[in-house]
Each structure stands twice: as structure tokens, then as C-alpha cells.
Amino acid sequence: MAEPERLTGGCQCGAIRYRVAGEPKMLYVCHCTDCQKQSASAFGMSLRIDPAELEFTAGRERLQTWSTRGDDGNVKRCAFCPDCGTRIFHGDEDPAATISIKAGSLDDTRELVPVAHIWLGSAQPWVEIDRERFRCFDGEPDDEAALERLWRARRH
Ligand SMILES: [Zn+2]
Ligand SMILES: [Zn+2]
């Protein structure tokens, strides 16, 4: 197993800075309409991590949260910088549950290759995916544990 690199990131204005202490569980790209709206772009990128491994090095007390209810009925807590509006992570009501870093907030994402594209049923029509390279799902993936195993296998 490779030495886990320390992933660092922050919001656009720099008030909030963080690092991920451990190994992420997986990275995927989501083309759902919520992610399109949230990112004000074509898709979202989610880096799943253990919340205990997220360390704030600046601005933790500034983080604001906004909650919304997803199509699955679960409440999603969305943490963001109140100054510049950058979304930092999404979690659910259970603070111990896995959270998703909004991966565009990382300083350097070149090392991180997504394992899957999900919700392709609502992707922008010009998005073309290499289906040999990525696992593809029209909606929610059926087996997230399998995706996490695949992510780990490709990382090491
Ligand atoms: Zn900011
Ligand atoms: Zn989404």
C-alpha cells in the first residue's frame, strides 16, 4: 500500500482550509440535477471520507451548514464558506457517517481518478464518458461497497 498522501483543500476565498488525514474511500462524479444546481456547473465530484479524518487547519468556526432533503428522503447537511459560498462537504444527520468532500475544493486533484459516473440519466447531453474506464450508472449505484473496493484496488 502506498503511503497515504495528505490531501489538502479549502474554499475559494481561503478562509477555510482543511486536510484529509487518511485514505479516501472513493471518488465519483455525479450528474444528478442537484449536483448540477449545487455546483452551478455540469456535475459534482464527491470524495467519500471518514469524518474523523477531516481536519480543519483554518476557519472551522466559520463553516455554515444548510440542510436539504434528497429524493431518497434523507436529510443532507451541506457545509460551506459563508464568505465565498464554496461548498466544502456534504454529510447526513449522523455525524459519524461517511461524508463527501466536494472534490473541486481540493488543492490538487490530479492524483485522484474517479471510479464511477453516476446519475448519467440526467447528464448534460454533450458529456461523453469512457465506459471502458469508468463504471457507469444511469441513477444511483446498486453496490457502493463494490465501488469502494474497486477504487481501493485501483489506488494501490
Ligand atoms: Zn471562502
Ligand atoms: Zn448528485
> Stretch 112-136: mean pLDDT, rounded?
96
Residue 134 has pLDDT above 70, yes or no: yes
Taking Cα atoms as reference points, which of 133, 129, 150, 111 lies closest to residue 30?
129
User: What is the reported pLDDT for 116?
Assistant: 97
Taking Cα atoms as reference points, which of 155, 73, 70 lies closest to residue 119?
70
How much of the chain exceeds pLDDT 90, in percent?
A: 79
User: What is the reported pLDDT for 74?
Assistant: 84
The pLDDT confidence band at residue 2, using thresholds 50, 70 and 90, is very low
C-alpha cell at 37: 444546481
Gap from CA of 105 to ligand 2 centroid (Å):
16
- pLDDT per residue as tens digits for the range 39-93: 999 999 999 999 999 999 999 999 999 999 877 788 899 999 999 999 999 998 8
Q: What is the CATH number of domain 7-155?
A: 2.170.150.70
The sign of the torsion formed by the CA atoms of 140, 68, 78, 82 equals positive
Gap from CA of 4 to ligand 2 centroid (Å):
27
Gap from CA of 24 to ligand 2 centroid (Å):
18
Gap from CA of 32 to ligand 2 centroid (Å):
4
Determine the 3-state secondary structure of 5 from DSSP.
coil
